[in-house]
Amino acid sequence: MNAGASSRGVLIGLLALIVLVAIVVAAWHSRNRESSPQAVTATTVPARPIDASNEGRLVAVSGQLDIGQPARDTELGVSANALVLVREVEMFQWYEDCAAAGCRYDRKWSAQPIDSTAFRETAGHANPGRFPFAAARFEAGAVRLGDFDVDAGFAARGRATTDLAVGIDELPPNLAATFRESGGLLYAGADPEHPGVGDLRVSYRAVPSGMAHLVGVQRGRQLLPRTSEPDVEPGSAD
C-alpha cells in the first residue's frame, strides 16, 4: 500500500470515529432530557377571589401580606406586627485561648454557654452555665395574601430581617425589674458600658410583611409550599 492510500485510510478512520462520538453524545443528552424533571409552570392567579378550578395546581400569587395575629415572644411578652420575630440572647462570659506558650483568659459576649469547668485554670474563671432564656423564633398567625391563608414561615422565605428596638415597657413587671434598656436591647446587669460575667443582653430581629410574590399549591383557601422542588417558571399556564 502506498503512502497516499495509507493517509486516506487514516483520515476515513478518524472521520468515522468523530461521527460515532457525536452519535453517542447526542444519545446521552437525549436520555438526560427524558429523565430530568420537567419545569413546572405556575399559573398566575389574582390574590382575590380564589378560583376553585385551580385546586391542587401550582399557582403564583402577588399582593399585600396581612397579619391577623402579630408574632409574639410568649416568654418575655415582646410582640411585633411582623411575619417572624427572632429573639437572640447573649451572655458575657470567660473564654479560654490556649497555645503552646500557655492559656490566655478573657471575657466576651457569646450566644452559647461556655463550659468553664473544662478550662485548664478554673479558679477565677467561672461562668454561670445555662442561660435563663434561649434564642427563639416566633411566627405570626392568621396571615393572609388576599383571600389565601398563608403560613407565616412560608411567607417569610427569602425576606430579610430587620433589627427591632424594644423597651422594658413591653415586659411583664417581674422582668421589667430585671432588665434595662440599652441601645434598643434589653440588658440585665449593673452597667452596660462595663459588663460583668453573667450579664445578659437580649435583642430582637423581625421579618416584616409587605408586598409578596409566592408560588405554592392551592388547597381550598390555603396556599401551601410545594412538597417537591421542581423548576418553576412564573407565568400563566393557560
Nearest to 84 by CA among 159, 176, 30: 159
Q: Is the peptide bond before 132 cis (omega within 30 degrees of 0)?
A: no
Q: How many other β-carbons are positioned within 10 Å of the β-carbon of residue 111?
A: 11
DSSP 222: E
Residue 219 has pLDDT above 70, yes or no: yes
Identify the band that residue 84 occupies on the pLDDT scale cut at 50, 70 and 90: very high
Range(s) of the domain holding residue 9: 3-36
**Whether pTM exceeds 0.85:** no
Same domain, yes or no, for 84 and 148? yes
Phi, psi of 178 (to 5 degrees): -90, -35
Judge if 143 and 75 occupy the same domain. yes
In the chain, what percentage of residues exceed pLDDT 70? 79
Q: For residue 105, which phi and psi values (nearest 5 degrees)? A: -125, 130
Answer yes or no: do 31 and 145 share one domain. no
The predicted structure's pLDDT at residue 234: 40
Which has the minimum average pLDDT: 10-19, 64-73, 177-186? 10-19
Residues 21 and 47 in one domain: no
Q: What is the mean pLDDT of residues 101-120?
A: 96
Q: Are strands 148-150 and 222-224 parallel, antiparallel or unpaired?
A: parallel
Q: Domains in the chain: how many in total?
A: 2
| Count of Cβ atoms closer than 10 Å to residue 107 Cβ | 16
pLDDT digits (tens, 9 = 90+) for 120-157: 999 999 999 899 999 999 999 999 999 999 999 999 99
Residue 78 in domain: yes
Is the CB of residue 45 less than 8 Å from the CB of residue 54? yes
d(CA 118, CA 92): 17
Q: Are residues 30 and 67 in the same domain?
A: no
Same domain for 55 and 17, yes or no, is: no
Q: How far apart are CA 19 and CA 183, in angstroms?
A: 72
Residue 127 counted as domain residue:
no
